[in-house]
Amino acid sequence: MAVGIFDSGLGGLTVLDAVVKRLPDVPFVYFGDNKHAPYGVRTADDVYELTTAAVARLWDEGCDLVILACNTASAAALRRMQENWLPKEKRVLGVFVPLIEALTQRNWGDNSPPREVDVNHVALFATPATVASRAFQRELAFRAIGVDVEAQACGGVVDAIEEGDMILAEALVRSHVDALMRKMPKPEAAILGCTHYPLMEAVFQDALGPDVKVYSQAGLVAESLADYLVRHPAMLGEGKTSKFLTTGDPRKVSDRATQFLRRKIVFEPA
């Protein structure tokens, strides 16, 4: 009954932490492709090949349902995977869906025409690859009208977080927020479009100011997954054991993960 969670590195641990708290009886297998991180500077074809390999590895662990807890993979690979690669008995879900649902206040399956929403000026902070894909803007446009999205590619932030250099990460976040606000001085909402960024949510909020509502993905994904499993209980795979897999150095990745989640995490070689 295990569910797979995939990320290019450690950022997906923010999603894992939220879903474990929401679904404590479900075993989760986490796969971090730390050897090839970050994905945010890779080509779409590279991201696709790496993501499909990781998802196939999670299938081997008995995970028929896999969450792409990586915005770059969700933006650059998910649609292509669902259209051309995914077997009928498997499911791969991305992290954009709960975010779009929250922002537009409508369910993903609502196919009515786009309509006005409460928020008109949205700041999107994401990796260069996610920004280049324009996936967020595309999905938002299907559901809402009159929303101006200003995207800021946050180069260097993921690398700093993965290396545990939170001082550099904070400096980069503040620099990227300044750059965005020169283009959009008064955003009403901000999307943290990378699962690493919740680790810096307080810094984003402080730099943006108290009047900007910051949307982070972890809690939204956890609630969405709980609802999905109620509607699709058959998607709980055969796996029965929670574990952590990495393509990187297991000891180094375990140490970083333990620091992030403030509890002992032990990764195994993938």
Structure tokens at 151: 């995207």
- How far, in Å, CA of 205 to CA of 214, rounded? 7
Q: 70 an active-site residue?
A: yes
Quickly list H helices, 134-216. 135-143, 157-162, 166-183, 201-208
* H/E run at residue 13: helix 13-22
Sheet strands (E) in 2-48: 3-7, 28-32
- Out of 76, 172, 194, 203, the active site residue is 194
Quickly list H helices, 61-197. 71-76, 78-84, 96-104, 128-133, 135-143, 157-162, 166-183
- How far, in Å, CA of 101 to CA of 110, rounded? 10
- How far, in Å, CA of 161 to CA of 163, rounded? 5
> Three-state SS for 105?
coil
- How far, in Å, CA of 144 to CA of 218, rounded? 23
> For residues 1 and 236, is the Cβ–Cβ distance under 8 A?
yes
Task: List all residues 6 or more positions away from 231 whose beta carbon is below 8 Å from its beta carbon.
Answer: none
- Out of 55, 58, 63, 70, the active site residue is 70
Q: 63 an active-site residue?
A: no
Which amino acids are annotated catalytic? 70, 194
